[in-house]
Amino acid sequence: MYSTDRALQIISIQHELVMNIGLDLKLEKMLNTFMQRALQRLSLSSVVLMDFNQCELTETPKTHSDGNLYCYPQLSSDYKRKLVEDAKSFYYQGEVAYSCISKQSCHYYFLKVPQFGVLILERYATEIDEVILAALEPLLIKLSASCKACQEHQNLIKEIEARKFAEELLIEQSMLDPLTNLANRKKFNLDLLKTLSSSFTTKNIGAIFILDLDRFKVINNTLGHAVGDDVIKIVGKRLQECMRPGDTLARIGGDEFVLLVVELSVDYSIAIEKAKKIAKKLAALIASPINIDGNIFSISASTGINMFPVEADSVLSARQQVDVIVQNAEKAMNAVKQANRNGYSFYNKQLQSSSERKTQIEKYLKTAIQNDEFEVYYQPLVAVDGKVLGAEALLRWSNQSLGRVGPDEFIPIAEESGLILDIGSWVLEQVCQILSSVGSNDALKYISVNVSPRQFIHHNFVDSLLSALNRYCINSRQVRVEVTEGVVIDNIDLTIQKMKYLKDKGVVTMLDDFGSGYSSLSYLHQLPLQTIKIDRSFITDIDQTSKNHVIVDSIIDICEHFSLECIVEGVENSDEFAYLATKNITAYQGYYFHRPMPKYDFITLLEH
């Protein structure tokens, strides 16, 4: 019989041990608490828990945390190997709840932790009381449940972590530009949004730099898209050199990059000076020669810079501000493009008002045809003897609110907005009308019409031109089409196809403003062209001493070589004409001969 004290002592051990099971959801931590307490309360020399579900029994686990063998205190490898073997033979003995092996003065107790493993208690000298062993039995059920709960919890955490990692990877990938591995527009907008929010509190001024590579299409069209891709990758790598921690570099379009630079300074003028330095560094990085498979070439970029935060924008939501900051940097970048490219420009109020004017122009252009605000002027083209050969149709616009607006200003807006399609058809109609009213006239071989890129690539362009000629019974030789190099570069295959079709139908295509834009020679031989108009910038002040004469003479030689007609535009004085008159030029155009004139003045000129 046991005394009451003994019974209370057993209950207290049982209670204390049970209270220490399942105190933590981390298996090792939970076992640490429980097993340390068992070690103490049961006067053990070691306690080991072996997880049979996961323990590779043929292998010897190395430490208590490695291999699902949990030992307190640490045991030697040989010792553990022996224990594993003994535990294994005990585990497969069937229904036995516990067994004891005594070696010299050491007693080992193997207790089954149901559906989990084996708990091994080691005690020197005295044996553990059978009653205590029996009292441990319900504990083992709880221990098993707790161990399994911990494992499930850990597996769940692992699963959640793996899922989270996969999701993060997916998000990261959706934020990356696959070609350069830089951020994409989405990621850039997010980073700008974050920076913007913090810059309101820190008052630190940041900047964005939008860079668009100049004439990148020439590389794509002449060297192929694979080389184009390589160039983009090289530029992306180089631009990374300008990044500091916290900055973001993104590719936001075919050849468009944007750099977000954070925390330049709290002082506006210092921030501007720093931004200028960065812009110069970016330009220098891009400018160093690129070598791809032995092709060495140089490239440049137009950069628009916008500083933030802007006080005036604080009425807008943060997201709206992000859009405005980017749009304004783009405006600054476009201003650089228009002003001869390769440089940088800050967004400023002037650009703001020019964009407001653009909006006004677009608004009034929409109703210009129905309000009868357009008029076509004609500028004669003359032979070397001054006789009129043909004319160029040049559009004029006069609006009540805006006054006279030049085509250099409104045509790009019409092009951008798509209004050029209707305007172009209207111009063509006017040209057909005048041609049909002057009839076949020896003095007027043709009138040329400027066709903008958007008009030219429109699928219906050639057919609507031919049908207009048909309606007015006009010979296809009487209307010529002027396209700029921009059309060719943007869509080389389509341009060739359309030019061929026009040629087959008897319509001559002229390449306008030749030499002003792209490296023209690279594609010239591919085009079914009949005429080239040399850009007027080469004609200004031309004489034997000017540098331009070398360019003009070479273009004339090329025209001879390819059997192309050569026309010069912008002849303004007798000196320029004197130089050009000795050259193999088919027609001359310029203020020296005639300015663009209204329809009736032109008809009168033809009649005399």
Task: Return d(Cα 77, Cα 485) in angstroms, integer.
Answer: 81
Is there a contact between 315 and 250 (Cβ–Cβ < 8 Å)? no
Cis peptide before 598 (omega within 30 of 0): no
Task: Give the residue with the Cβ less far from Mg ion, 255 or 512.
Answer: 512
Does 450 participate in binding ligand C2E (rule CB under 6 A)?
Answer: yes
* Helix pair 318-338, 185-202: axis angle to 10 deg: 110
What mask, x for binding ligand C2E by CB under 6 A, covers residues 59 to 88? Answer: ------------------------------
Q: How far is the CB of 411 from Mg ion (least distance, A)?
A: 10
Residue 230 binds ligand C2E, judged by CB under 6 A: no
Q: Which stretch binds ligand C2E (CB under 6 A): 181-189, 259-267, 281-289, 444-452?
A: 444-452
Spell out the alpha helix ranges (H) of 20-108. Answer: 27-41, 77-91
> Measured between alpha carbons, how far is 306 from 288 in angstroms, rounded to an integer?
25
CA–CA–CA angle 295, 298, 304 (5° rounding): 145
What would the x/- binding string for ligand C2E be over residues 455 to 484, using CB under 6 A?
---------------------------x--
Backbone torsions φ then ψ of 145, nearest 5 degrees: -60, -40
**What single-letter amino acid sits at 356?**
E
The residues in 460-519 that bind Mg ion, with binding defined as CB under 5 A, are: 482, 512-513
Q: Indicate which single residue of 379, 495, 509, 520 sits in contact with ligand C2E (rule: CB under 6 A).
A: 379
Which amino acid would we find at residue 360?
A: Q
- Give the position of tokens 């005690």: 123
Give the Å distances, CA to CA, from 502 to 82, 226, 348, 533.
94, 32, 45, 18
Binding test (CB under 6 A) with ligand C2E, winner from 71, 150, 411, 479: 411
Among 296, 301, 206, 291, which residue's Cα sits nearest to residue 251?
Answer: 301
Q: Which is nearer to Mg ion, 485 or 512 (CB)?
A: 512
Shortest spacing between CB 411 and ligand C2E, in angstroms: 4
Min separation Cβ 332 and ligand C2E, Å = 24
CB neighbour class for 22 (10 Å; exposed up to 12, middle 13-18, buried from 19): middle
Query: What is the nearest approach in angstroms of ligand C2E to the Cβ of residue 521?
Result: 20
- Please name every residue paired with 257 in a beta bridge, in sequence order, or none if there are none: 211, 251
Q: Taking the complex as a whole, how short is the minimal distance between the CB of residue 328 and ligand C2E, in angstroms?
A: 27
* Residue 362 contact, options ligand C2E, Mg ion, none, Cβ 5-8 Å cut-off depending on partner type: none
CB under 6 A: which stretch of 173-181, 328-336, 347-355, 447-455 binds ligand C2E? 447-455
Q: Which of 135, 140, 394, 481 binds ligand C2E (CB under 6 A)?
A: 394
Strand intervals (E) in 409-487:
446-450, 479-484
Longest CA–CA span in the chain (Å) reads 145
Min separation Cβ 512 and Mg ion, Å = 4
- Out of Mg ion, ligand C2E, none, what residue 71 binds, judged by CB under 5 to 8 A for its kind, is none
Helix axes 4-19, 130-174, angle to 10 degrees: 10
Per CB under 5 A, which of residues 567..606 are in contact with Mg ion? none
Residue in 22, 407, 517, 528 binding ligand C2E, rule: CB under 6 A: 407
398-427 mask for Mg ion (x: CB under 5 A)?
------------------------------
CB of 372 to ligand C2E, least distance (A): 16
d(CA 537, CA 164): 61
Interacting residue with ligand C2E among 452, 495, 520, 531 (CB under 6 A):
452
- Least spacing, CB of residue 334 vs ligand C2E, in Å: 18
Q: How many residues bind ligand C2E (CB under 6 A)?
A: 24
CB closer to ligand C2E, 13 vs 534: 534
Q: Which does 406 bind (CB under 5 to 8 A by kind): Mg ion, ligand C2E, none?
A: ligand C2E
A 10 A CB-CB count for 171 gives: 12
Q: How far apart are CA 206 and CA 472, in angstroms?
A: 61
CA dist 216 and 300 (Å) reads: 9
* Short-list 586, 581, 584, CA closest to 567: 586
Binding mask 554-593 for ligand C2E (x = CB under 6 A): ---------------xxxx----------------xxx--
- The owner of tokens 């049970």 is 18
Distance CA(373)–CA(280), nearest Å, equals 45
Closest alpha carbon to 395 in 420, 409, 378? 378
Q: Which string of b and e fits 316-340 if b means at least 16 CB within 10 Å?
A: eeeeebbebbbebbbbbbbbbbeee
User: Which member of 351, 512, 555, 564 binds ligand C2E (CB under 6 A)?
Assistant: 512
Cβ distance to ligand C2E smaller for residue 137 or 601 = 601
Q: What angle do CA 334, 339, 343 make, to 5 degrees?
A: 75
Shortest distance, CB of residue 536 to ligand C2E, whole angstroms? Answer: 6
Q: Which one of Mg ion, ligand C2E, none interacts with residue 258, CB within 5 to 8 A by kind?
A: none
Least CB distance from residue 398 to ligand C2E, whole Å? 14
Amino acid identity of 207? Answer: A
117 part of the interface to ligand C2E, by CB under 6 A? no
Site residues for ligand C2E per CB under 6 A: 379, 393-395, 406-408, 411, 427, 450-452, 482, 512-513, 536, 569-572, 589-591, 596
Site residues for Mg ion per CB under 5 A: 450, 482, 512-513
